[in-house]
């Protein structure tokens, strides 16, 4: 009985399982990166995503000047180096991120480090990603 069911609905089962398993794996790291300062004029941007239940199964896609930097799951971290003015956009990744609001922020690369916390804001019938600039100590305390 079960064998016939699987044969008959194999395609639908696979179609359901692929997005389910692929939507939870981010490209960020669970280990906080080492914060360093350089004198070469490049700016390092540090990202962290807050933990939580709301939006936990949706990856936050980070784009810098139109180029994908990474996809962060909850409590993951990423870094990116820039050498000029930059614009960061946060949106939902994949099928599960469809319909989730985006947020963006911009800055000037002046050789300093910048720290951002990515969160999720939930409304009554909506949800969107938020990005907030913080200090180095706020970044370290964010997890």
pLDDT tens-digit map of 55-107 = 667 888 999 988 999 998 888 899 999 888 899 999 888 776 777 888 888 88
Rg of the chain over Cα atoms, rounded to whole angstroms, equals: 18
Mind spelling out the 3-state secondary structure of the chain? Answer: CHHHHHHHCHHHHHHHHHHHHHCCCCCCECCCCCCCCCCCCCEEEEEEECCCCCCCCCCEEEEECCEEEEEECCCCEEEEEECCCEEEEEEECCHHHCCCECEEEEECCCCCCEEEEEEEEECCCCEEEEEEEECHHHHHHCC
Give the pLDDT of residue 125. Answer: 84
Residue 39: its pLDDT value, please? 64
Predicted local distance difference test score (pLDDT) of residue 99? 75
> Is the distance from CB of 91 to CB of 97 less than 8 angstroms?
yes
- For residue 2, pLDDT over 70 is answered with no
How is residue 90 written in tokens?
A: 């946060």
pLDDT at 137: 87
Position 131 pLDDT exceeds 70: yes
Taking the alpha carbons of 15, 18, 21, 27 in that order, is the dihedral positive or negative? negative
- Domains with residue ranges and CATH for the chain: 26-141 (2.60.40.10)
CA angle 97, 88, 107 (to 5 degrees): 160
Q: What is the mean pLDDT of the chain?
A: 81
Given this model, what pLDDT does residue 140 score? 85
How far is residue 48 from each of residues 41, 43, 85, measured CA to CA in Å? 23, 17, 21
Identify whether the C-beta of residue 127 lies closer than 8 Å to the C-beta of residue 100: yes
- pTM for this one? 0.77
Amino acid 89: pLDDT: 93
pLDDT band at 123; cut points 50, 70, 90: confident
């Amino acid at each position: 009985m079960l064998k016939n069911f699987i044969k008959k609905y194999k395609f639908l089962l696979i179609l359901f399982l692929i997005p389910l398993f692929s939507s939870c794996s981010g490209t960020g790291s669970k280990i906080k990166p080492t914060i360093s300062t350089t004198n070469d004029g490049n700016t390092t941007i540090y990202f962290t995503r807050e933990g939580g239940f709301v939006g936990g199964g949706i990856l936050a896609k980070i784009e810098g000047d139109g180029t994908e930097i990474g996809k962060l799951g909850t409590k993951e971290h990423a870094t990116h180096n820039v050498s000029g003015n930059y614009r960061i956009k946060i949106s939902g990744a994949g099928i599960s991120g469809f319909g989730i609001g985006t947020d963006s922020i911009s800055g000037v690369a002046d050789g300093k480090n910048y720290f951002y916390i990515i969160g999720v804001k939930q409304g009554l019938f909506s949800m969107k990603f938020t990005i907030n600039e913080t200090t180095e100590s706020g970044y370290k305390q964010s997890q």
